[in-house]
Structure 1
Amino acid sequence: MRLPPRRRPPARLRASLLAGAALASLSSAALAQEVDDYDYGDVEVQELVVSGARPAGSVIGDITPELTLSPQEIRAYGAASVTELLEALSPQIGSGQGGGRPVILINGGRISGFSEIRDLPTEAIARVEILPEELSLKYGYPAEQKVVNMVLRPRFRVTLAEGSVKTPTQAGGGETLGVHGARLDILQGRRLTVDAKANWTGGIEESDRSITGGEGAFRSLQPSSSDVALNAVYAKPLENGVSVSVNGLFEASESESRQGLSPFGPEAQLRNTERQTARLAASANGALAGWQWSTTGEIERGEVETDTERASGGLAFLDTARTVTTSAQADLVLNRSFGELPAGQISTALTARASATELESEAVRLGAFQASDLSRTVGELRGNFDIPLTRDGEGLGEHLGRLSANLNLGVEHVSDFGALETWGYGLNWRPTSDLRLLGSFSRSGEAPTMNQLGDPVTVTTGVRVFDLTRGETAEVARTTGGRATLDAGQKDVFKLGATWQPLDDVNLRVQANYVSSRTHDAIVAFPSASTQVEAAFPDRFTRDASGALTAIDARPVNFALQARDEVRWGLTYSRQIGSEPTADERAEMRRRFEAARPAAAPATQAQAPAEGGAQRTTEGRPAGEGPPDGPPPGEGPPPSAAPGGGPPMAGRGPGGPGGGGFGGFGGGGPRSGVFQVGLYHTLALRDEVQIAPGLPKLDLLDGAALGSGGGSPRHQIQLQTNYSKSGLGVAMEANWQSATRIDGGVTGDDLKFSDFATVNLRLFADPGRQRWARDYPWMRGARATLSIDNIFDSRQEVRTSDGAIPITYQPDLLDPVGRTLRLTVRKLIF
Structure 2
Amino acid sequence: MRFSTSIMFMSFFWGASPAALMAQTVSPGATPAQMDDGEGEEIIVTGQAPRGSVIGNIQPEQSLSAADVRALGVTSISEMISELSPQTNGSPVILLNGKRISSFSEIQDIPSEAVARVDILPEQVALSYGYAPTQKVVNIVLRERFRAETGEARGGVTTQGGRENGQVEAGMLRIQGDNRFTLNLKYGRAAALLENERDIMPTAPGRPYSLGGNITALTVGDDIDPAFSALVGQSVTVASVPGSAASSAPSLNDFIAGANITGISDLTRFRSLSPETENFSANATLARALGGVTATLNGRLELLENASLQGLSANALTLPGASPFSPFAGDTTLYRYLAQPGALEQQIRGTTAHIGLTLNGQLGRGWQWSFTGNGDLSMTRTRTDRGVDSGPIQAALDAGDASVNPYSSFTPDLIATRLSDQARAKSQAIQGDLLISGTLFDLPAGEVSTSIKIGASANGFDSRSIRSGVENEARYNREIGSGQLSLDLPITSRSKDVLGAIGDISVNLNAAAQHYSDFGMLSTLGYGLRWEPVKAVQVLASANQDRAAPTGAQINDPLIATPNISIFDYATGQSVFVTQISGGSATLRESVRDQFRLSARVKPFEKPNLTLTATYLNSRTTNPIAAFPTPTPALEAAFPQRFLRDENGSLLQIDARPINFLRSQSEQLRWGVDLSIPIKSRVQKLVEAWRASGGKAEDRPPELQALFGNRPQRAPGADGADRPRGERGAGPEGGRPPGPRGGGFGGGRGGGQGGGRISFSLYHSWHLTERIDIAPGVPQLDLLNGDATGSAGGQPRHEIDARIGYTNNGIGARLGIDWESGTHVDGALSGTTAGSSRLNFGSLATANLRLFANLGQMPMLVKDMPFLRGARVSVGIDNIFNQRREVTDATGMTPLRYQPGYLDPLGRTVSISIRKLFSPNFAAGNRPRS
What TM-score do you get using the length of structure 1 for normalisation?
0.87
What is the CA–CA distance in structure 2 between the aligned matches of 1:182 and 1:460, rounded to whole Å?
A: 38
Indicate how the Cα distance of structure 1 residues 195 and 27 shifts in structure 2: closer, same or farther if over 3 A, else same: farther
What is the CA–CA distance in structure 1 between the aligned matches of 2:752 and 2:302, rounded to whole Å?
A: 43
- The aligned counterpart of 1:249 is 300
The answer to whether structure 1 residue 717 and structure 2 residue 712 are counterparts is no
How big is each residue's C-alpha offset from its partner over 1:74-95, in whole Å with a ceiling of 9 and x where there is no partner? 1111101111111111101115
Describe the SS at the equivalent of 2:354. Answer: strand
Size of the aligned set, in residue pairs, is 768
Alignment map for 1:188-337 (pairs within 5 Å): 188-213=177-202, 214-239=266-291, 241-262=292-313, 263=338, 265-290=340-365, 291-311=367-387, 314=390, 316-337=418-439
- The aligned counterpart of 1:117 is 107
C-alpha contact 1:638 1:669 (8 A) present in aligned 2 = no
Which of these residues, 46, 49, 66, is aligned with residue 43 of structure 2?
49
Which of these residues, 778, 781, 787, is aligned with residue 704 of structure 1?
787
How big is each residue's C-alpha offset from its partner over 1:178-235, in whole Å with a ceiling of 9 and x where there is no partner? 1111111111211110111111111111222211115132221111121111111111
The answer to whether structure 1 residue 692 and structure 2 residue 775 are counterparts is yes
Indicate how the Cα distance of structure 1 residues 824 and 504 shifts in structure 2: closer, same or farther if over 3 A, else same: closer
Alignment map for 1:470-489 (pairs within 5 Å): 470-489=572-591
C-alpha contact 1:489 1:520 (8 A) present in aligned 2 = yes
Indicate how the Cα distance of structure 1 residues 747 and 789 shifts in structure 2: closer, same or farther if over 3 A, else same: closer
Shift of 1:699: 0.9
Shift of 1:460: 4.8
What is the CA–CA distance in structure 2 between the aligned matches of 1:325 and 1:222, rounded to whole Å?
A: 26
Indicate how the Cα distance of structure 1 residues 828 and 625 shifts in structure 2: closer, same or farther if over 3 A, else same: farther
What is the CA–CA distance in structure 1 between the aligned matches of 2:564 and 2:812, rounded to whole Å?
A: 49
C-alpha contact 2:428 2:460 (8 A) present in aligned 1 = yes
The answer to whether structure 1 residue 9 and structure 2 residue 2 are counterparts is yes
- The aligned counterpart of 1:5 is none
Which of these residues, 136, 139, 161, is aligned with residue 151 of structure 2?
161
Indicate how the Cα distance of structure 1 residues 29 and 216 shifts in structure 2: closer, same or farther if over 3 A, else same: farther
How big is each residue's C-alpha offset from its partner over 1:347-376, in whole Å with a ceiling of 9 and x where there is no partner? 000011211111112222222222211111
Indicate how the Cα distance of structure 1 residues 530 and 38 shifts in structure 2: closer, same or farther if over 3 A, else same: farther
- The aligned counterpart of 1:446 is 548
C-alpha contact 2:463 2:556 (8 A) present in aligned 1 = no
Describe the SS at the equivalent of 1:432. Answer: coil
What is the CA–CA distance in structure 2 between the aligned matches of 1:20 and 1:212, rounded to whole Å?
A: 49
Which of these residues, 116, 119, 131, is aligned with residue 126 of structure 1?
116
- The aligned counterpart of 1:170 is 160
Q: Which runs of 5+ in 2 are unaligned?
A: 203-265, 314-337, 392-417, 739-750, 920-930
What is the CA–CA distance in structure 1 between the aligned matches of 2:340 and 2:16, rounded to whole Å?
A: 49
Mean alpha-carbon deviation: is it higher for 153-162 or for 447-456?
Answer: 447-456
C-alpha contact 2:42 2:727 (8 A) present in aligned 1 = no
What is the CA–CA distance in structure 1 between the aligned matches of 2:735 and 2:486, rounded to whole Å?
A: 43
How big is each residue's C-alpha offset from its partner over 1:628-665, in whole Å with a ceiling of 9 and x where there is no partner? xxxxx95x32227899xxxxxxxxxxxxxxxxxxxxxx
What is the CA–CA distance in structure 2 between the aligned matches of 1:824 and 1:318, rounded to whole Å?
A: 40
How big is each residue's C-alpha offset from its partner over 1:317-359, in whole Å with a ceiling of 9 and x where there is no partner? 1322222211111011000101221111210000112111111
What is the CA–CA distance in structure 1 between the aligned matches of 2:465 and 2:354, rounded to whole Å?
A: 25
Indicate how the Cα distance of structure 1 residues 305 and 245 shifts in structure 2: closer, same or farther if over 3 A, else same: same
C-alpha contact 1:78 1:729 (8 A) present in aligned 2 = yes
What is the CA–CA distance in structure 1 between the aligned matches of 2:440 and 2:710, rounded to whole Å?
A: 50
Shift of 1:523: 1.8
- The aligned counterpart of 1:681 is 764
Indicate how the Cα distance of structure 1 residues 447 and 700 shifts in structure 2: closer, same or farther if over 3 A, else same: same
- The aligned counterpart of 1:550 is 652
Alignment map for 1:366-377 (pairs within 5 Å): 366-377=468-479
Shift of 1:313: 5.8
- The aligned counterpart of 1:778 is 867
Shift of 1:458: 5.5
Shift of 1:552: 3.2
Describe the SS at the equivalent of 1:768. Answer: helix
Indicate how the Cα distance of structure 1 residues 385 and 184 shifts in structure 2: closer, same or farther if over 3 A, else same: same
C-alpha contact 1:767 1:779 (8 A) present in aligned 2 = yes
**Higher gyration radius (CA):** 2
Alignment map for 1:267-666 (pairs within 5 Å): 267-290=342-365, 291-311=367-387, 314=390, 316-457=418-559, 459-503=561-605, 505-578=607-680, 580=685, 581-585=687-691, 619=721, 621-623=723-725, 636-639=731-734
Q: In angstroms, what is the RMSD of aligned CA positions?
A: 3.0
C-alpha contact 1:762 1:788 (8 A) present in aligned 2 = yes
What is the CA–CA distance in structure 2 between the aligned matches of 1:506 and 1:218, rounded to whole Å?
A: 56
The amino acid of 1:727's aligned partner reads: G
C-alpha contact 1:40 1:156 (8 A) present in aligned 2 = no
Describe the SS at the equivalent of 1:142. Answer: coil
The amino acid of 1:443's aligned partner reads: Q
C-alpha contact 2:637 2:778 (8 A) present in aligned 1 = no
Shift of 1:825: 0.5
The answer to whether structure 1 residue 797 and structure 2 residue 886 are counterparts is yes
C-alpha contact 2:294 2:359 (8 A) present in aligned 1 = yes
What is the CA–CA distance in structure 2 between the aligned matches of 1:524 and 1:642, rounded to whole Å?
A: 52
How big is each residue's C-alpha offset from its partner over 1:384-425, in whole Å with a ceiling of 9 and x where there is no partner? 000000111444532111110000001111111111010100
C-alpha contact 1:28 1:232 (8 A) present in aligned 2 = no
Shift of 1:22: 10
C-alpha contact 1:384 1:409 (8 A) present in aligned 2 = yes
How big is each residue's C-alpha offset from its partner over 1:710-761, in whole Å with a ceiling of 9 and x where there is no partner? 1000000000000000111100100000001101232551011110111000
How big is each residue's C-alpha offset from its partner over 1:243-280, in whole Å with a ceiling of 9 and x where there is no partner? 11110111112122222224371512222221111111
C-alpha contact 1:783 1:825 (8 A) present in aligned 2 = yes
The answer to whether structure 1 residue 136 and structure 2 residue 224 are counterparts is no
What is the CA–CA distance in structure 2 between the aligned matches of 1:396 and 1:595, rounded to whole Å?
A: 60
- The aligned counterpart of 1:822 is 911
Shift of 1:803: 1.5
Shift of 1:812: 0.6
Alignment map for 1:11-50 (pairs within 5 Å): 12-13=4-5, 16-17=6-7, 19-20=8-9, 28=18, 31-32=21-22, 34-35=24-25, 38-41=28-31, 42-43=33-34, 44=36, 46=40, 48-50=42-44
What is the CA–CA distance in structure 2 between the aligned matches of 1:778 and 1:455, rounded to whole Å?
A: 51
Indicate how the Cα distance of structure 1 residues 308 and 30 shifts in structure 2: closer, same or farther if over 3 A, else same: farther
Shift of 1:547: 3.0
Q: Which runs of 5+ in 1 are unaligned?
A: 1-7, 96-100, 600-604, 607-616, 627-632, 644-667
C-alpha contact 1:491 1:517 (8 A) present in aligned 2 = yes
Shift of 1:465: 2.4
What is the CA–CA distance in structure 1 between the aligned matches of 2:458 and 2:529, rounded to whole Å?
A: 35
Shift of 1:462: 4.1
